[in-house]
Structure 1
Amino acid sequence: MDNQLLIRAYSVGVGDCIYVRIPKARKKGGRVDDFHILIDCGTRAVGDLLKTALDHLKGELPDEGGKKRLDLLLISHEHEDHIKGIDPKWFDAIRIENLWMSVAMDRDHPQAKFAHQLHDMAATAMRNIALRGLALSPELQDIVDRYGIGNDGAVDALRTTLPERNGITPLYVHADLKPAALQPKTLTGATFKVLGPEFDIDATYLGDAGPAILHGFAAATGVLAPKAGGGDVDTPANISASDFQRLRSRMMSSAFAFAEEEGEVVNNTSVMLLIEWRGRRLLFVGDAEWNRAYRDKKKNFAWNTAWKLRKEELGKPIDFLKIGHHGSINSTPWNDKEDGEVTEPSQILDAILPLPGAGARPKAKAVVSTERTTYKVIPRATLLLEIGKRVGNTRIYANELGPDQIADLPNYDAYEQKWLDRPQPVRTDLETRLTGKGFVDVLIEPAGD
């Protein structure tokens, strides 16, 4: 393994906690050793999974100055399934040398004014709904949970606590940064490139619809707040109780729709990091989403934007893909209609992970950090099968999982059973059932080896 690059995806449920070790890529004071990266640290499940992952990670990091050295902590975006584990006490024993975050997380960024206002409005609306104690479907509860108070603590730790403790200044990264800014002082033998997000968050990911979205959200959430001391607000005197409840229901539906829209903006401002190492290209995409096509001055999606503006890099095959958004239907570009039509998303997939020729075996690799839950499109089985045709590190899980190992898979009959007998990329949930390790390793050889 001394000459292999390691990607380790910890099994943390629906979330990303990904360790990357680049061999012999750190040089300081004449000494050359490995360069260690942690990409995201979050989950929608209980935090104990992240604590276990971080404790294991500490065993992989080198000792330096009485602490474990982490050369780079990269946070792709600020959803809880990517930052929930950013608890300062869990990082007490780790010295962080570089901290990168999406430029959309910079509260002082002038080109993200509308995006930040939209986020604040969504947080307020969802927290007001949470205070009402309503019984919500799993999908709606998931939206509410994204805006929990705990998320604020993780963001504060990233912006203030961890930088101060480690004597560093966060770098808010975007695709327009010059190469020198993306080259940590100690990094050698590898190159980092950022394909997204673009610097102008509002113009690229909200477009000319930004003011209208904010106005609509404000109108939708005006009657959702509970009383100052708790409990539901009283019915106004000029409206019947039944009409007021119908109004509240409509406003709540609108609030959820706007919160989903804000969630799309956050996903689409994920850091899309390309690592080039010894002839290999590795792409980590956070939860970047795709749409049908890029449209100038409109609300755009991350993959389409990178295809339009960064095609020189995105238009070439890659050797590794961190499958986006836990295998969701909307976060790896493909023809989701599965009708054979050539679309912009299918062109992107063909460019980065081309289908092998007749009789050839794919050489690229991929991993998906996921957990089958009650959420029907994470992971999307048919998408994983499509990626499985294009990568070499696949499993036919039906041949290896025993009945007891799949009996507790939610929605197994509807979303797993039909497809487990065909190759799909390695995935953290099923690999954990097979190996019990709590993580999945992907090894990358230098080109030519």
Structure 2
Amino acid sequence: MTSETTTGTVEVRMYNVGFGDAFRITVKRNGSTWRMLVDCGVHSHGAARPLKESVKNIIDDLKADCGGTARLDVVVATHHHRDHIRGFAEDDWAEVEVDEVWLPFVENEDDDDAKSLREAQRRTALKLAMLIGERQQKLGAEGARANPSLAQAMAMAQNSRGNATATNRLLGRGLGFANPQHAVRYLPDIDPVKNTVRFDGCGVVAHILGPPRDAAMLKKMDPPRNAGWLTLNLDDVVDAEVDGDEPPKATERATEDGMRLFNKKYVVADTQVPRELLDARAKLDLDGLSNDMGLLAAASVLEQSVNNTSLFFVLEVGGLRLLFPGDAQYGAWESVRTDPRSLELISSVDFYKMGHHGSHNATPMSFIEKQWNNRPGDVMVPWGLVKLWKDSIPYQPLMDALTTEHHRVIKPNKNTVGDNPASDLVETEWWSQLTFKVGQ
């Protein structure tokens, strides 16, 4: 966006981490500089390079720009999926000064609305990884490799389990950044006044639009205890460390009710069933396609549940608007689009960080075709090849709709489609950067 009276610039740098998010926003205006980092993580199946190298590059860039000690005014962790926060587990962050960290309110252990939701998501991810691990173990290495449904389900379940080390750093629990203490904001706040955050020096205004706090939407974000005929029996899950990449062992399961076909009142204990019937049950191959697809469906439901807890916000600087929705999916988008003020904000943005790496379920087609079509904008797609999703992410009809509406689409490795004279684009192996000129 240009102005007759230019007083500063806004840079949006998308780091090429692979299938993950890491965005740095730098505002230089009115003699001040303000910096924000939105997420830092990558999917284990889609890294462009070792994550440690990407983190080092981000921090080295900060050191160079800051003229010494790396510093960020705000770090945003939009939601706890590993491909958004895993980078914060790296020790290099202890060299970076951070004023404050923003997290979605669902991560607040003192928030009554969030407690049950957060616990349900945690235990669902843990139990689901156990069930998938059992199934893979039963199939053996060769059978598991030949089963794409199981591979996708495990990838989703593991991503949803978060990263304890990264979370501890973000919350300042034993770990942290270079400064002894940093402020933590859980957003949106119950007080709506606090959901417009202003930074006076550069004139940055953050409009916090989600995740929604109303009871109906919270219920939609709560992972169901039953997906199809797959029951996850969360009460049977034992606590386990969630920092590693290995699934819980099959022996951690307390029951076999994960494959229940009948109502619980009709089930009798194995000790009451004749051995002949138990042997017959063991020979029945009820663990085929339906079970594998059921596990994949459950993993998809869980992923959507966590994605819809994403911090969803618009940054505004001198009339320029930047939209960062995390990986918000349909429910969270609808909550934003049904609010007139929020709809006005997102419909007039100059920049959009595409949600969920360009998948079909994180950007409403109607938003592109009917609501954000008033002027050309820029879209950055944080994407890297994951073989499991090579034919579906990014979703090509969505990419086509963006270019049809005259938006420039920017992906890593210089895969840019379209042009936009309102901003300058620079692309390297490590990052792609847009620079906007802003006025008063």
Quick one: which of 404, 413, 437 aligns to 1:389?
404
| CA deviation after TM superposition for structure 1 residue 352, in Å | 4.5
| CA deviation after TM superposition for structure 1 residue 389, in Å | 2.4
- Render the CA deviation track for 1:82-103: whole Å, top value 9, x for unaligned: 0110115120210111100111
Q: Any idea what SS the aligned residue of 1:281 has?
A: strand
Q: Which residue of 1 aligns with 2:16?
A: 11
Q: Any idea what SS the aligned residue of 1:444 has?
A: strand
Q: Is the 8 A contact 1:366 1:391 kept in 2?
A: no
Alignment partner of 1:20 is 2:34? no
Equivalent pairs: percent with the same residue?
Answer: 22
Q: Which residue of 1 aligns with 2:159?
A: 146
Q: How does 1:396-415 map to 2 (within 5 A)?
A: none
Query: Using a 3 Å threshold, how does the CA distance of structure 1 residues 210 and 50 change in structure 2: closer, same or farther?
Result: closer
TM-score (norm 2): 0.74
Query: Using a 3 Å threshold, how does the CA distance of structure 1 residues 304 and 226 change in structure 2: closer, same or farther?
Result: same
Q: Which amino acid is the alignment partner of residue 51 of structure 2?
A: L
Alignment partner of 1:428 is 2:440? no
Q: Is the 8 A contact 2:20 2:357 kept in 1?
A: yes
Q: Which amino acid is the alignment partner of residue 11 of structure 1?
A: N
Q: Is the 8 A contact 1:191 1:275 kept in 2?
A: yes
- The root-mean-square deviation of aligned C-alpha atoms, in Å, is 3.8
Query: Using a 3 Å threshold, how does the CA distance of structure 1 residues 36 and 436 change in structure 2: closer, same or farther?
Result: closer
* Bigger RCO of structures 1 and 2 (CA < 8 A, at least 6 apart): 2
Q: Which residue of 2 aligns with 1:313?
A: 344
Q: Which residue of 2 aligns with 1:38?
A: 37
Alignment partner of 1:371 is 2:384? yes
Q: Which residue of 2 aligns with 1:266?
A: 306
Q: How does 1:12-411 map to 2 (within 5 A)?
A: 12-24=17-29, 32-44=31-43, 45-46=46-47, 48-61=49-62, 67-129=69-131, 131-132=133-134, 133-134=136-137, 135=144, 136-137=147-148, 138-147=151-160, 151-159=163-171, 160=173, 161-162=175-176, 166-174=180-188, 177-180=191-194, 182-183=196-197, 187-200=201-214, 203-207=216-220, 213=226, 217-219=231-233, 226-227=250-251, 237=275, 239-240=278-279, 242-243=281-282, 246=285, 253-290=293-330, 301-309=331-339, 310-314=341-345, 316-334=347-365, 346=366, 348-350=367-369, 352-354=371-373, 362-374=375-387, 375=389, 376-393=391-408
Higher mean alpha-carbon deviation, 49-58 vs 101-110, is at 49-58
Query: Using a 3 Å threshold, how does the CA distance of structure 1 residues 440 and 177 change in structure 2: closer, same or farther?
Result: farther
Q: Is the 8 A contact 2:20 2:41 kept in 1?
A: yes
Q: Which residue of 1 aligns with 2:141?
A: none
Q: Which amino acid is the alignment partner of residue 36 of structure 2?
A: I
| CA deviation after TM superposition for structure 1 residue 435, in Å | 5.9
Higher mean alpha-carbon deviation, 384-393 vs 269-278, is at 384-393
Quick one: which of 430, 437, 440 aligns to 1:445?
437
Whole-angstrom distance in 1 between the partners of 2:29 and 2:54: 24
| CA deviation after TM superposition for structure 1 residue 38, in Å | 0.5
Q: Is the 8 A contact 1:43 1:81 kept in 2?
A: yes
Q: Structure 1: any 5+ residue segments left out of the alignment?
A: 26-31, 291-300, 335-345, 356-361, 394-424
| CA deviation after TM superposition for structure 1 residue 17, in Å | 0.5
Whole-angstrom distance in 2 between the partners of 1:435 and 1:185: 29
Q: Is the 8 A contact 1:71 1:96 kept in 2?
A: yes
Whole-angstrom distance in 2 between the partners of 1:221 and 1:441: 47
How many residue pairs get aligned? The number is: 378
Query: Using a 3 Å threshold, how does the CA distance of structure 1 residues 256 and 165 change in structure 2: closer, same or farther?
Result: farther
| CA deviation after TM superposition for structure 1 residue 2, in Å | 8.4
Query: Using a 3 Å threshold, how does the CA distance of structure 1 residues 219 and 59 change in structure 2: closer, same or farther?
Result: closer
| CA deviation after TM superposition for structure 1 residue 185, in Å | 5.9
| CA deviation after TM superposition for structure 1 residue 324, in Å | 0.9
Query: Using a 3 Å threshold, how does the CA distance of structure 1 residues 64 and 383 change in structure 2: closer, same or farther?
Result: closer
Higher mean alpha-carbon deviation, 105-114 vs 66-75, is at 105-114
Whole-angstrom distance in 1 between the partners of 2:116 and 2:320: 38
TM-score (norm 1): 0.72
Query: Using a 3 Å threshold, how does the CA distance of structure 1 residues 181 and 383 change in structure 2: closer, same or farther?
Result: closer
Q: Which amino acid is the alignment partner of residue 125 of structure 1?
A: K
